[in-house]
Amino acid sequence: MTPEKRPIIGVTGPDRGGGAAWWFTCFAVWLAGGHAVRITPRRPRQTLDGLDGLIIGGGADVDPKLYGQELLHVTEKKKRDEPVGMWIIGLVLFPLTWLMRKLSAVPVTSGQNAARDELEMKLIDDAVRKRLPVLGICRGEQLINVYFGGTLHRSLAGLYIEDPEIRTILPRKRIVVERGSCLASVLGPRPVRVNALHRQAIDRLGRGMRVAARDRNEIVQAIEHESLPMVVGVQWHPEYLLQVPQQRALFRAMIKPPKRCKVADRQATNADPAERELVSAA
């Protein structure tokens, strides 16, 4: 008896840097029962033929011209909120993850990557038309929203009111998942602790997208499509939180989407005319 073939999941990233994110994501997909293949502008795929799902990884900011805005130079004032109870976890996990991210990093001269933007927009389009599972991570979540016509907050300055801004690879940001969402069927209905490495966030939702999670400042932390199966974007980096069962579940959902996420596909007839045209073209 031959072993069952593992589903193949495409994982996008930059040509230079991003090594840590790739290896952590690759491991996460393997734990979920799949096999990851790396896709970059220099190692592109024109279509997703032969693949069973797509993960759009994190990285450089999405080009603001893609959502009708110009480049904005922002000077950030960093704040930190580090609950004492998380220090033990931090002492154990932070050094390894930090070291891997630093070793795989490269100097960046520009905040955008036009070649990557173009490649990933084409891949998202192909995945949507083929109804493949799609998971957007950080930048990937933002690009999914832009693909469907949404916009982004290019700076988080002034948006943090209830809680201070957090920038950490550890699960120190508290988010609330929307009940009844596809994401809730994956993570569960209770508040979740996640990490936060982003500088931008969702502003106006794209066509057919809905909010799947927010933080206490009402900043969108996850989105999902209302009428396509398992098209989900998260603002955090679950690949760096594989010690948390809920985060591993996100990658398992790429291999076997929960029933709640599949039900969305049968609701496509309720989508607006533009969405019905897109879905019917698949």
What percent of the chain clears pLDDT 90, i.e. is strictly above it? 59
Higher-confidence residue: 74 or 200? Answer: 200
Instruction: Name residue 254's amino acid.
Output: M
Q: What is the pLDDT of residue 60?
A: 87
CB 46 within 8 A of CB 123: no
- Identify the CA nearest to 65 among candidates 111, 134, 127, 123: 111
Letter string b/e over residues 83-121, b meaning 16 or more CB atoms within 10 A of that residue's CB: eeeeeeebeebbeebeebbeeeeeeeeebbbeebbebbb
Residues 48-97 have pLDDT tens digits of: 999 999 999 999 889 999 998 755 444 334 344 444 444 455 555 555 55
- Cβ contacts of residue 43 below 8 Å, gap of 6+? none
Q: What is the mean pLDDT of the chain?
A: 81
Q: Using the structure block, give the residue that is written with the tokens 């982003």.
A: 198
Q: What percent of the chain has pLDDT over 70?
A: 73
How far CA 141 is from CA of 94, 212, 231, in Å, comes to 24, 12, 10
Residue 246 burial by CB count (10 A; 0-12/13-18/19+): exposed, middle or buried?
middle
- 15-48 pLDDT per residue, tens: 988 889 999 999 999 999 999 999 999 999 989 9
pLDDT at 273: 41
Q: Which of 168, 24, 169, 19 is nearest to 103 (CA)?
A: 19
Q: What is the pLDDT of residue 168?
A: 83
Mean of the pLDDT values across residues 144-150? 97
Instruction: Please count the other Cβ atoms lying within 10 Å of the Cβ belonging to residue 174.
Output: 15
Nearest CA-CA partner of 239 in 49, 111, 120, 97: 97
Mean pLDDT of all residues in 187-193: 93
Q: Quick one: which H or E segment has residue 215? A: strand 209-215
Q: What's the predicted TM-score (pTM) here?
A: 0.80
**Is the pLDDT confidence value at 14 over 60?**
yes
pLDDT band at 268 (very low <50, low <70, confident <90, very high): very low
Helices (H), the chain: 19-31, 87-104, 114-130, 139-147, 182-187, 245-255, 259-266, 273-280
Domains and their CATH numbers in the chain: 8-280 (3.40.50.880)
The closest alpha carbon to 265, from 239, 231, 236, belongs to: 231
pLDDT recorded at residue 79: 40
Torsion (CA) 251, 246, 190, 233 in degrees, nearest 10: -30
Q: Which residues are catalytic?
A: 138, 237, 239
Distance in angstroms (rounded) separating the CA atoms of residues 174 and 53: 28
Write down the pLDDT at residue 73. 43
